[in-house]
Amino acid sequence: MLTEARQATAAPVERTATLLLDDFEAARLRGLAAQVTAEYRSVANPEFLAESTVIAHELPRRVRSFLNRARLDDIGHTVVVSGHALDALGPEPTPRHWREADTERSRAYAFLLMLHAALLGDVIGWATQQDGRLVTDVLPIRGQENSPISSSSHAPLGWHTEDAFSPSRGDHIGLLCLRNPDRTTTTVSHVVPAALGDAAREVLAQARFLIEPDPSHSRRGGTAVPRPVPVLTGPEDAPQLCVDRDYTSAVPGDAEAERALAELVAHIDANLYELPLRPGDLCFVDNRTVVHGRSRFRPRYDGTDRWLKRVNVVTDLRRTRPERLTSDTRVVGR
Ligand SMILES: [Fe+2]
């Protein structure tokens, strides 16, 4: 069933489309994921990466059609393919750390996410994030409860464009929810340019802002001086954001840019809404039209905590080539 919630007038506008799989489709997807897992073993297998777009043609037609529309939609916020069967996970506990999370039984879900992502583009990883893995894991880590990264829990994760600091950032962020016992929400927000002042809009579109990498990227901090960039681009009816609430600032001394950024931040705060992901929900966040974050929660560290598999998808792999060491690698950075 295809449902879409649109509120045409009042902000915040929620542009989320959901496709609910039927049992036959879920079984077919589960079978396909098991088959590719057995054949390729690792999502980083070069043979799998070369074939994943073609294999994705075997996904149910409704899924292909749904994600193709998401690919063409320049104002949509998120899409969710709901109802994936997670029975292979069985009693496997949520790992204590992302290093332990590429487990034998959860690997089929990594492949499942990669195959859906292949309908939107190509998956990249970061040399500086989770050891360059293409499928990363979002789970709470003890000792990082109040950190500003996705392994936090007690503190809300501030809204951001994923990897806003880099021109190689993903166009879509894919999330497959494996476990979410407290219905912890993903937060989403966007911009309505007409609601901003003319002066602010003009300034925000100019290269007068600095974006630092967040601490989820090891080794990057302090090594490179960011270049000034705009934070709001695109036409008024299809604006694109590139901003991280905690890591964006105006160029030092530019008071006008500072005021415009403060106006944008207040506007995005006011437009924030919640997207609850349930186990079996596979979501793509459009990393150009919206920013996203996460509400706070209390981790238990008993194997039942929230656990998502995550990918970064670029619609034009060649755009990332300057930051990839070779044509063959999908890992950005060195
Ligand atoms: Fe994120």
Give the number of C-alpha atoms closer than 13 A to the C-alpha of residue 61, restricted to the C-beta side.
0
- Interhelix angle for 23-40 vs 46-55, to 10°? 160
C-beta atoms surrounding 47 within 10 Å:
10
The predicted model gives 157-165 an average pLDDT of 96
Where residue 79 sits, what CATH number does that domain have? 3.60.130.10
- 34 Ramachandran zone, left/alpha/beta (phi>0; psi -120 to 50): alpha
Domain count across the chain: 1
pLDDT tens digit sequence for 181-221: 999 999 999 999 999 999 999 999 999 999 999 888 876 54
Model confidence at 7, pLDDT cuts 50, 70, 90, reads very low
pLDDT at 300 over 50: yes
Q: Reduced to 3 states, what is the DSSP secondary structure of residue 285? A: strand
- 288 Ramachandran zone, left/alpha/beta (phi>0; psi -120 to 50): alpha
Q: What is the mean pLDDT of the chain?
A: 93
Alpha-carbon span 309 to 111, nearest angstrom: 10
Do 12 and 189 form a contact (C-beta atoms < 8 A)? yes
pLDDT tens digit sequence for 82-111: 999 988 666 689 999 999 999 988 999 999
Which residues form the domain of 143?
Answer: 2-332
Q: What percent of the chain has pLDDT over 90?
A: 88
Q: What percent of the chain has pLDDT over 70?
A: 93
**Ligand 1 center–CA 186 separation, angstroms:** 9
The predicted model gives 281-285 an average pLDDT of 98
**Ligand 1 center–CA 224 separation, angstroms:** 21
**Ligand 1 center–CA 174 separation, angstroms:** 10
**Ligand 1 center–CA 299 separation, angstroms:** 19
